[in-house]
Structure formats: C-alpha cells, structure tokens
Amino acid sequence: MTAVFAERWMLQHLAENNITERKIPDPVSYYKWPLALAARGKETEALDLLRWINKNSLTEEGHYLSDRSGFHREFHIYSTLWMILAAIRLGDHATVEKALGFVLK
C-alpha cells in the first residue's frame, strides 16, 4: 500500500509542479525517482524524468552536475549509479554508456 501512495504522490508532485518543463537549481535531487517509477510500471513518466535530469545536468563526459552537499557531494557516484540503473531498466543505452563510462574512469 505504501508503494501505491508513494507512486501517487510522486506523479502528483511532478504534474502539479510541472517539473519536467522547468529549470530547477538541482535536477539531480530527483535521482531515485526514475528507477522508482520504472519499478512501479510507469516507464513513460520515468523516462521523461530521466531525460529531463540528463538534459539539465548530465555533462558530455557523463558526469552529473549537482549542487548537493554532504554525502551526495562527496560520493556523487552514488546518485549516478541510481540513474544508471534506471537507464538500464528503461533501455536508455546512451545514458548507460555515457554515465557508466564516466564512473569507470
């Protein structure tokens, strides 16, 4: 039941705030959302969100630019791996190749 509520809240948040049509300071803060949505069978929404994050913060080298602090700043690869897992699940091979290539350097 919790997963249903979480999914509903996430989709409502994305829609009400028009997230994928805006530029926000740190899109990477949504790094777990594409995989969570894909796991719930919301592939279209997950792929839209993944593409939006990539458009706004994935560099040509495959690094995610983020203003995050603390753990996520020191261990930025943690959030990158969540994005890679989502890309694998969604069949976004270009993102997998780019981001994983960066991680493996």
Position 89 pLDDT exceeds 60: yes
- DSSP string of 9-50, one letter each residue: HHHHHHHHTTGGGS--S-GGGGTTHHHHHHHTT-HHHHHHHH
Q: In the structure, what pLDDT confidence band is assigned to residue 71 with cuts at 50, 70 and 90?
A: low
Number of domains observed in the structure of the chain: 1
Give per-residue pLDDT as tens, 4-62.
Answer: 999 999 999 999 999 999 989 889 999 999 999 999 999 999 999 999 999 999 999 99
Q: What is the pTM of this model?
A: 0.91
Position 91 pLDDT exceeds 70: yes
Provide the domain limits for residue 12: 2-103
Please answer whether residues 47 and 90 qualify as being in contact, where contact means their C-beta atoms are separated by less than 8 angstroms: yes
